[in-house]
Amino acid sequence: MAGGYVDCHCHMTAEEFSQDRADILERARKGGVQALVSVTEHAGELETLLHLSDRYPSYVMPCFGVHPIQSTADGSHSVTMQIGLDFTPWLTPTSKEREEQLRVFQKQLDIAKQMDLPVNVHSRSAGRQTIAFLKEQGAEKVLLHNFAGRASVALEGVQAGYFFSFPPRVANNDQREKLIRRIPLENICLETDSPALGPDRQERNIPSNIFISCEYIARVKGLSPEKVCEATAHNAFRLFPKIRHKMNNRY
């Protein structure tokens, strides 16, 4: 692929990559990934990601935040800092928990606005609420990763200028076909969400699997994979302009 893919949401500091992280990143390069945005899920990963981005300064782009419900190493949940909303009924059954998520989500949005940074947002079982809240808060630079809401809700995000990214797992989910068909290519990015959401639930997902997302989106939209790769990379550079700046420093 000319230029190559941009993986806009993966987790290279995850424990699943602790033994072979360098090899996985090299495999991603060889697989055509020109840059990747690595997202933290809990505070214990922040220092690890800083070291990783220092080691690969023009390749691994750090994205700091904490997952709304993901457990930390000590078994506690990280609801007091987050990168979005997760209203999965069996995980956040009470209105108090949901209100706490909204409160701290607003805090992180405020920080992003103050620093003029984009937000990389988790919205499981909360697509409508997340987009409504983002619009209410005046968020402009937004990626809704692995979005699984209704197409009508996604189009509200499109009107607000938001982007949507999809991991390899969508190729096995016909329910996403209508959604992807309705979202303009100008608002789509690629992601893997590695080490999760790969093509096979039993296997660890890796960034080099990003071609699966690209080819699936191309098939749904009746376009060539090359066109989708080029357009989604362009979208990633629009949303994350520091990626291009850091990549230019390679030369």
* Domain residue spans of the chain: 5-248
In this structure, the strands spanning 60-63 and 119-121 are: unpaired
- Residues above pLDDT 90, as percent of the chain: 71
Backbone region of residue 4 per phi and psi (left: phi > 0; alpha: psi in -120 to 50; beta: other values): left
User: Given pLDDT bands bounded at 50, 70 and 90, which one contains residue 82?
Assistant: very low
pLDDT of residue 21: 97
User: Given pLDDT bands bounded at 50, 70 and 90, which one contains residue 77?
Assistant: very low
pLDDT of residue 94: 72
Taking the chain, what is the end-to-end CA distance rounded to the nearest angstrom? 20
pLDDT of residue 108: 86
- Determine how many CB atoms are found less than 10 A away from the CB of residue 203: 10
Question: What is the CA 195 to chain-centroid distance, rounded?
Answer: 12
Pairwise CA distance, residues 135 & 45, whole Å: 29
Q: Which neighbouring-strand residues pair with 84?
A: 122
Residue-wise pLDDT for 37-75, tens only, equals 999 887 788 899 999 999 999 999 999 876 665 544 444
Q: What is the rounded average pLDDT for all residues in the chain?
A: 89
Residue-wise pLDDT for 209-221, tens only, equals 999 999 999 999 9
| CATH superfamily placement of domain 5-248 | Metal-dependent hydrolases (3.20.20.140)
pLDDT of residue 157: 98
User: Given pLDDT bands bounded at 50, 70 and 90, which one contains residue 80?
Assistant: very low
Pairwise CA distance, residues 237 & 248, whole Å: 12
Q: Are 189 and 10 in contact (CB under 8 A)?
A: no
- Determine how many CB atoms are found less than 10 A away from the CB of residue 109: 21
Q: Note the pTM of the prediction, 2 decimals.
A: 0.89
pLDDT of residue 2: 63
Q: Are 108 and 81 in contact (CB under 8 A)?
A: yes
Q: At what angle do helices 225-239 and 241-248 cross, to 10 degrees?
A: 100
H helices of 160-201, where? 175-182
- Determine how many CB atoms are found less than 10 A away from the CB of residue 141: 18
